[in-house]
Structure 1
Amino acid sequence: MINTYEYAKDLDRLDPLAPYRNEFYVNENKIYFDGNSLGLLSKRAEQSLLGMIEAWKEHGIDGWTAGDHPWFYLSENLGNQVAPLVGADAGEVVVTGSTTVNLHQLAATFYQPNGKRTKILADELNFPSDIYALQSQLKLKGFDSATHLIQVKSPDGHTLYEEDIISAMTDEIALIVLPGILYRSGQILDMELLTREAHKRGIPIGFDLCHSIGSIPHRLTEWGADFAFWCHYKHLNGGPGSTAGLYVNKKHFGKLPGLAGWFSSNKEKQFDMEHELTPADDAGSYQIGTPNIFSMAPIIGSLSMFNEIGMDKIRAKSLKLTRYLMELITTELDGHGFILRNPMDDDRRGGHIFLEHPEAPRICKALKADGIIPDFRAPNGIRLAPVALYNTFEEVWQTVQTLKTIMDEEKYKQFENKRGVVA
């Protein structure tokens, strides 16, 4: 029976990735299901950060070219290690900036309004930061975002239809920016289809992979996507505020970056100190400023696990965890007013579950009081992310049992139905 503790323990005994839990600092008194917002610290990430501090201590300024991970080349070298996770070729990925800074860079490069093509196509469910950036880019080009930022509507407030997105690809669209996975539901958009349809119409297209990198496999170069950007602190466990990443398809190499800076330079020319930029001949040209070395260092250790295991195995366990969680929610929480808003089909579902309930803020507080860390999303969403590298099937079972008790005993009513400062 799937709703028994023994069944969950059997699944853990058969899990080939179970040993990787020991790689992380897991608080055994809590169940951490918020890895889709901030992944846990791994011992390898800790060691790579400490190693970088030692390099500074030992080499001083020579750390730029000395040591195990010379700083001058770190962004590009890490980019080549991230590349398999997004299905990119060598040179197409660089670790740099932050998610929003990278979007600004890519939009400044690829948004080139011309004639009647002046509008940007996005969606109404995307993370607010992306929308703010696109609105800013429109304003910089002299356009009103109220008329020039086209946001595809959702039929239910949680998911999107690819047909609606394609229908919005008119001859007025100059750029398309969409999420790979919707944070509000975990829905995976068909990036291959959308890229193909955009290119049929001569429109460059890019994807925000914040909720998909490290959670699902990608084949960006095979699909022909023009660009992508993401963070490394969610499923990739790079630490709070860790340096982000971006992808530019090699067909665009040689294109001048929209926002040039010191580290946009060709490495061989950078210290010639010329006032005429000679950009790098790969994605490295999309860097702007000096890399944040200590914010990159934990990514070194974290990536070693992903490259060791491979995304196919990580994805397989992730799907088993989310499927098991949905099955238990359906059988154990029936009648308590929960609605599963994420896709049920494996090929459409990312690495987290989205539960909707009118009392969601209170329920999240009750879960935290009982040692389970969820993620609240206004106005009434509860996100639960069992992560393949460190969560267990037993934790899934325990979480649903705790949630059932909270609802049966109405324990959530002792809390205010209002989100915290950081949801």
Structure 2
Amino acid sequence: MTDTPGEAPDTDADRLTREWAERRDAADWSLADAFDVPGTYMEGNSLGPISDHAEAAVEDLLTEWRELGVEGWSESDWFEWGERLGSRIAPMVGAHEDEVVCANSTTVNLHTLVGTFLREAEGSTVLVNELDFPSDHYAVRAQLRERGLDPDAGLIQVESRDDRTVRAEDVAAALDAHPEVGVVLMPSVLYRSGQLLDIAAITEAAHAHDALVGFDCAHSVGVVPHDFADVGVDFAVWCGYKYLNGGPGAVAGLYVNRRHHGTMPSLAGWWGHEKATQFEMNERFTPAESAGAWQIGTPPLLAMAPLRGVLDLFDERGVTVEALRERSLALTDSLLDLAGERLPECEVATPRAPDERGGHVALEHPEAYRIGEALAARDVVVDVRPPDVVRLCPAPTHVGFADVWDAVDAFRAVLDEAAYENYEPPGGGVT
């Protein structure tokens, strides 16, 4: 925020006060009025809250279903929802409209894309990293098994550094050590720490070793701009329920670079058939000449409507992903400042450099689980990743600077009062 002309600039001490947060909220844009947010909601990196536009979009679809019945497939635009939503998200990820489609779930998209590109790759193994979300490894191992390959030998992991980060040079070193790698699969943002990886450098390293490269962008799409097409990323996947606020079970998204259009998907389904002849019911599958080929079954419109509503909200308010990123960085800056000053018992696991962090901040404390329970009792919604990480996400669509201050203040009170001692430690761990 720039200081008002004629006023003394804010000092570092000013920026640690709630009064400063309130002034910043009053001067900044926000979409909070369009969202129904439960408490001090710092968990938009797990599930975004409902918006009035998402609710209205569902109601509109229900009205069409009621009035049109099956004719909705021909009288409305249901038939092209996946492609239409994909074209609207394409600018967020730096892609051409035909390179993005909304379809399936994130893990289903990983299965079909990893399976496709593992078949097309020169090498027979997949390079991942040890800090990935586990589900990504489940999908890769399954695809290796389907090809009669040993998943323990075919899944190669980049080890993290002592500070639990992964750098592009670590990926390059792993590729040097394993020339048999055919596919590189990395997250854009590490789900525990919030570290943002260097997609361009990793893509360059993979292509220099004749490997194909894809990214799981569940923790970045909607809050971090990407340049997939210019960088040359081969494929990517993401979910619709985090920063895109598309609701629980929202449809996922996928990107496939144009140079791969026309490739046979490993999981072929009739909705990925070329649209012009889809209803001719031909015996053989003809893939669409677009990312739409990686659709599988009939699109779940009720799981897509909320996302359509949120994109309408962005369009109506003129909100771009660049604006969301700027606001997100300002919010996480404030959170990092406050945590550093007021929560010295916690280790900040998230990189401070703006170009190295996504949209959430990870604080490490040995009582993370019980702290999370105590915060929930104070209507501060965070999430915990075992064994010791509390994640706070000031999502730029609906969280304000005063919310950030309140969350840290509640965290401080929980520590001061040892309020977490009122809760049992996790029995079998948490998910």
TM range (shorter): over 0.9
1:56 Cα deviation after fit: 0.5
Give SS of 1:234's match.
Answer: coil
For 1:84 and 1:243, the matched residues in 2 are separated by 18
Asked if 1 retains the 8 angstrom alpha-carbon contact of 2:121 and 2:211, the reply is: no
- Whether 2:144 is the aligned partner of 1:131: answer no
Give SS of 2:111's match.
Answer: helix
Asked if 1 retains the 8 angstrom alpha-carbon contact of 2:386 and 2:430, the reply is: no
Asked if 2 retains the 8 angstrom alpha-carbon contact of 1:112 and 1:174, the reply is: no
Point out 4+ residue stretches in structure 1 off by more than 4 angstroms.
Answer: 419-423
Residue 14 of structure 1, aligned match among 3, 27, 30? 27
Query: Over residues 244-275 of structure 1, what are the superposed CA-to-partner deviations in whole Å (9 max), with x where a residue is unaligned?
Result: 01000011111111111111111111111111
1:156 Cα deviation after fit: 3.3
For 1:43 and 1:405, the matched residues in 2 are separated by 33
1:157 Cα deviation after fit: 6.6
**Compared CA separation, residues 420 and 375, structure 1 to 2 (3 A):** farther
Asked if 2 retains the 8 angstrom alpha-carbon contact of 1:113 and 1:119, the reply is: no
Asked if 2 retains the 8 angstrom alpha-carbon contact of 1:206 and 1:226, the reply is: yes
- Whether 2:387 is the aligned partner of 1:361: answer no
Q: How does 1:168-207 map to 2 (within 5 A)?
A: 168-169=174-175, 170-207=178-215
Give SS of 1:72's match.
Answer: helix
For 2:54 and 2:32, the matched residues in 1 are separated by 14
Asked if 2 retains the 8 angstrom alpha-carbon contact of 1:359 and 1:380, the reply is: yes
Give SS of 1:97's match.
Answer: coil
For 1:223 and 1:352, the matched residues in 2 are separated by 24
- Whether 2:96 is the aligned partner of 1:89: answer yes
Residue 48 of structure 1, aligned match among 41, 54, 57? 57
Give SS of 2:162's match.
Answer: coil
For 1:361 and 1:384, the matched residues in 2 are separated by 13
Match of 1:112 in 2: 119
Give SS of 1:228's match.
Answer: strand
> Structure 1-normalised TM-score?
0.95
For 2:332 and 2:74, the matched residues in 1 are separated by 44
For 2:26 and 2:417, the matched residues in 1 are separated by 32
Asked if 2 retains the 8 angstrom alpha-carbon contact of 1:263 and 1:287, the reply is: yes
1:215 Cα deviation after fit: 1.1
Match of 1:209 in 2: 217
For 1:83 and 1:276, the matched residues in 2 are separated by 30
1:374 Cα deviation after fit: 0.3
Give SS of 1:65's match.
Answer: helix
Match of 1:329 in 2: 339
- Whether 2:317 is the aligned partner of 1:304: answer no
1:422 Cα deviation after fit: 6.1
Give SS of 1:112's match.
Answer: helix
For 1:56 and 1:156, the matched residues in 2 are separated by 55
**Compared CA separation, residues 420 and 214, structure 1 to 2 (3 A):** farther
Match of 2:110 in 1: 103
Match of 1:156 in 2: 162
1:114 Cα deviation after fit: 7.0
Q: How does 1:17-416 map to 2 (within 5 A)?
A: 17-18=29-30, 20-27=31-38, 30-67=39-76, 70-112=77-119, 117-156=123-162, 158-169=164-175, 170-307=178-315, 308-334=318-344, 337-416=345-424
Provide structure 2 residue ranges, at least 5 long, that are not aligned to the other structure: 1-13
Provide structure 1 residue ranges, at least 5 long, that are not aligned to the other structure: none
1:145 Cα deviation after fit: 1.3
1:317 Cα deviation after fit: 0.7
Asked if 2 retains the 8 angstrom alpha-carbon contact of 1:78 and 1:300, the reply is: yes
1:419 Cα deviation after fit: 7.0
Bigger mean CA deviation after superposition, 319-328 or 305-314 = 305-314
Match of 1:3 in 2: 16
1:403 Cα deviation after fit: 1.0
Asked if 1 retains the 8 angstrom alpha-carbon contact of 2:121 and 2:183, the reply is: no
Asked if 2 retains the 8 angstrom alpha-carbon contact of 1:363 and 1:412, the reply is: yes
Give SS of 2:407's match.
Answer: helix
Query: Over residues 363-387 of structure 1, what are the superposed CA-to-partner deviations in whole Å (9 max), with x where a residue is unaligned?
Result: 0000001110001101111000001
Bigger mean CA deviation after superposition, 123-132 or 139-148 = 139-148
Asked if 2 retains the 8 angstrom alpha-carbon contact of 1:362 and 1:412, the reply is: yes
Count residues in correspondence.
414
Match of 1:418 in 2: 426
1:184 Cα deviation after fit: 1.0
The one-letter amino acid of 1:401's match is D
Identity %: 43
Asked if 1 retains the 8 angstrom alpha-carbon contact of 2:112 and 2:267, the reply is: yes
**Compared CA separation, residues 38 and 421, structure 1 to 2 (3 A):** farther
Give SS of 2:80's match.
Answer: helix
Q: For the aligned residues, what is the CA RMSD?
A: 1.4
Asked if 1 retains the 8 angstrom alpha-carbon contact of 2:386 and 2:429, the reply is: no
1:304 Cα deviation after fit: 2.2
1:278 Cα deviation after fit: 1.7
**Compared CA separation, residues 114 and 230, structure 1 to 2 (3 A):** closer
The one-letter amino acid of 1:226's match is D
Asked if 1 retains the 8 angstrom alpha-carbon contact of 2:167 and 2:198, the reply is: no
Asked if 1 retains the 8 angstrom alpha-carbon contact of 2:385 and 2:430, the reply is: no
**Compared CA separation, residues 176 and 412, structure 1 to 2 (3 A):** same
**Compared CA separation, residues 214 and 113, structure 1 to 2 (3 A):** closer
Asked if 2 retains the 8 angstrom alpha-carbon contact of 1:180 and 1:188, the reply is: yes
Asked if 2 retains the 8 angstrom alpha-carbon contact of 1:125 and 1:157, the reply is: no
> Structure 2-normalised TM-score?
0.94
